[in-house]
Structure 1
Amino acid sequence: MCPRTKEQNELIRIQRREQILDVAARSYFRTGGTFDIRDVAREAGLGYGTVYHYYPNRHLLIEDVLGSGFERCEQVIANGINIGDLSDNGRLLEYCKALLRLWQSDARAYLVYKMAAEHYAGLPERDRQHAKIKFMERLYVPLQSIAQCKDDSVDHMLAVLVGCCGMHYYAGNSDLDVDRIAKLAVQAITKES
């Protein structure tokens, strides 16, 4: 057998890191954020030393989980802003559906909004304020522009989305009724019945 090339090693490193981040995000829901590096290693089927090599502590791991989750959510926001030819409520409805689909398949992206709803209480004090500001600037304010409202209606909409998606992660419901949940969330803003 030939030794691996530098490119192959880099690909393996990226895949392993992604695997660790996915498992850590799911572990957060199961443990309420009190998971240990050993828990992540065990669930990922990796050695403790391997995971520790990438993340020597839980806080760095959560930081990267949130960082990658933010990136994925920002892509949905960018696409939501660029949805053309629809009414304002139509744009908002499509945005909600896209966000729910992302959350259903990506625990990291959901964790960003879930922790925001909890004011990032699971983070150390020094990181909490930074995460709140990042969320407001990069996700919340752009969402307000899609929703075209400046009051707390966006909070109500996000509460519907986060709560309903929580059933997927906490209660083990396999599928979300994306269309129905998105309509409920839009009703929280438009106050239509």
Structure 2
Amino acid sequence: MSPRTKEQNDAIREIRMNQIMQAAAEVYLEKGIQLEIRDVAVKAELGYGTVYHYYKNKHMLLEDLLWDALYRTESAVQPAMTGDGGSLHKAESFSRLLLQKCVQDPSVFILLKTVADNFHHFPGNRFSKLSDHFQERIYLPFVHMIREEIDSKSPDKTANLIFGSLIGCTALNIHHQMRHEMDADGIVDMIFSGLQTKER
């Protein structure tokens, strides 16, 4: 048997990394920060040594998981940030896309929950850069949309309320095994129906 090419090795590596990331997200939903590399290996149906080859400890794994989730989140909400329509329409679209992504991709929910918890489960300040990127790429553009169109004395508080509602609804559905039954459109419609638009 001839040795694998670099391209073949890269393809195998990408498949393994996806397996590990998906398994890590599922295990994190079950165990939180108590997750161990061994748990991820079992969930991914890979050998412990295989997972350990890629990640020497769970903090390195979770760091990669959260950075990857940040890119997925940014990609998911991009159509709302660059689309047509006023800021209120964009804010609703942003919220809908974000909630749908949370349902489809547990790592995005984990990112939002971790940011909301201010990374308090993680040691040191290794996530300060990720937090800054989240603020700049996701949170502050959303606050800007709220400030433009919604009658609120504190756009930040309103944005936090909406983010908290999206996280809470996702958590309830995940922990009650109803993730795929969640009515994302209905939830977002209900949240925004309670907001007053600015008088022009």
State the identity %.
Answer: 31
Question: 2:181 maps to what in 1?
Answer: 175
Counterpart CA distance in 1 for 2:116 and 2:51 is 29
Question: 2:46 maps to what in 1?
Answer: 46
1:101 and 2:106 are equivalent in the alignment: no
The letter of the residue matching 1:50 is: T
- Contact 1:27 1:33 (8 Å CA) reproduced: no
Q: Deviations over 1:29-73 (max 9, x none)?
A: 100221000000011000000000000100000000000000011
Choose from 166, 170, 185 the match for 2:171: 166
- The RMSD of aligned alpha carbons is 1.9
Counterpart CA distance in 2 for 1:175 and 1:8 is 39
Question: 2:152 maps to what in 1?
Answer: none
Per-residue deviation, 1:165: 0.8
The letter of the residue matching 1:155 is: N
- Contact 2:37 2:52 (8 Å CA) reproduced: yes
Unaligned runs of 5+ in 2: 149-154
1:138 and 2:137 are equivalent in the alignment: yes
Question: 2:192 maps to what in 1?
Answer: 186
1:154 and 2:159 are equivalent in the alignment: yes
Counterpart CA distance in 1 for 2:196 and 2:45 is 47
The letter of the residue matching 2:8 is: Q
What SS does the corresponding residue of 2:118 show, helix, strand or coil? coil
Give TM-score, length-normalised by structure 2.
Answer: 0.87
Per-residue deviation, 1:3: 4.3
Per-residue deviation, 1:191: 4.4
Could you tell which deviates more after superposition, 73-82 or 125-134?
125-134
Q: How many equivalent pairs are there?
A: 190
Give TM-score, length-normalised by structure 1.
Answer: 0.90
Q: Deviations over 1:154-186 (max 9, x none)?
A: 000001100001123222113210111111332
Question: 1:35 maps to what in 2?
Answer: 35
- Contact 1:120 1:128 (8 Å CA) reproduced: yes
Question: 2:151 maps to what in 1?
Answer: none
Unaligned runs of 5+ in 1: none
Per-residue deviation, 1:135: 2.2
Counterpart CA distance in 2 for 1:79 and 1:97 is 11
